[in-house]
Amino acid sequence: QKEVEQDPGPLSVPEGAIVSLNCTYSNSAFQYFMWYRQYSRKGPELLMYTYSSGNKEDGRFTAQVDKSSKYISLFIRDSQPSDSATYLCAMSEWYSGNTPLVFGKGTRLSVIA
């Protein structure tokens, strides 16, 4: 079993739809959770991060962490064609600055105008 599981998609939705992206993980020591957006042939861009369980909202984006279920989600409201990209979840244990991130495979999202 991989440490982080993420459905690679592709996921295709109409403009304006609510998008739900998810990851599950096996390491209960993970406490720091991130979502990155990656456009084709570009480096990942940090969208949101959360520490431990709970919700965090930033504009059209909401990140949720359920540590009891080892499940994290990213919701995108009022999706736009410009949201079309690959979304990667990443996580790490709260440790020193040397702790690398563990990434999911990424979910390819297409928002159709």
3-state DSSP call for residue 55?
A: strand
Cα–Cα distance for residue pair 2/91, rounded to 1 Å: 13
**b/e code 3-17 from CB counts within 10 Å (16+ = b):** ebebeeeeeebeeee
Residue of the chain from 14, 43, 82, 113 that contacts other proteins (CB under 8 A): 43
Q: Please tell me whether residue 71 binds other proteins under the rule CB under 8 A.
A: no
Options 15-23, 44-52, 54-62, 65-73: segment touching other proteins (CB under 8 A): 44-52
Q: Applying CB under 8 A, which residues contact other proteins?
A: 6, 8, 31-32, 34, 36, 41-46, 49, 51, 88, 90, 94, 97-98, 100-101, 103-106, 108
